[in-house]
Amino acid sequence: SQKIEQNSEALNIQEGKTATLTCNYTNYSPAYLQWYRQDPGRGPVFLLLIRENEKEKRKERLKVTFDTTLKQSLFHITASQPADSATYLCALTSSGTYKYIFGTGTRLKVLA
Amino acid sequence: GAVVSQHPSRVICKSGTSVKIECRSLDFQATTMFWYRQFPKQSLMLMATSNEGSKATYEQGVEKDKFLINHASLTLSTLTVTSAHPEDSSFYICSARDPSPPLTIYFGEGSWLTVV
């Protein structure tokens, strides 16, 4: 069955460092992969989308990579700040259904 | 600003009553909207896909008679929790799909439902 895995354990890093979050998937051929930020008690906020034929996408301090051979996406936050503390979700969709499947999310805590 | 607006953000209702949650797409016409449920510290659970002008498609295990979905216009989908029970208390989130490629999904702010 289709499966998306994100590190369920919280990631704690020091302010100013680069945070790297991982999204692995199996039994899936996604056309698009999206990353979202979710704060407690709020709906997810769209951050970045990357297509299957793109290797990397950047937006300000954010960078996403997409390796369809490894079936993995990495999400990087450079020069991290305490305000970046949140849960980050990855979501995939195939070109056939356009229905998105979400990972369980990784909770990031940036320590001052 | 918000691309998708959800209302109410919090609602408390008595057992046995029904409650309606609205989801509005503000920046685009959304032929497809999605409704999710999320329990604390868990991922989003897709409940149903709402298609404008047709019946919603429910995920396995979701009672369609309990969670009524109406997508009467290209900018509005509603979820009605009928005959609510305390176990229906949860965080409900809607999302809308931008019809222009790459079909980005935008989420509403979510609605906390408490059934007492």
- pLDDT tens, residue by residue, A2-25: 788 998 789 999 999 999 999 999
pLDDT of residue B100: 84
The larger pLDDT score, comparing residue A49 to residue A93, is at: A49
pLDDT tens-digit map of B37-55: 998 878 888 999 988 888 8
- A43 SS3 class: coil
Pairwise CB contact (< 8 Å): B109 & A46: no
Residue to test with chain A: of B43, B45, B91, most A Cβ within 10 A: B43
Q: Which of B43, B95, B102 sits opposite A104 (nearest CB)?
A: B43
pLDDT tens-digit map of A55-92: 999 999 999 999 999 999 999 999 999 999 999 999 98
CA distance A109 to A83: 9
pLDDT tens-digit map of A85-106: 999 999 988 776 667 888 889 9
pLDDT tens-digit map of B51-80: 888 889 999 999 999 999 999 899 999 999
CA distance B94 to A51: 23
Kindly report the number of other CB atoms within 10 A of residue B47's CB atom: 23
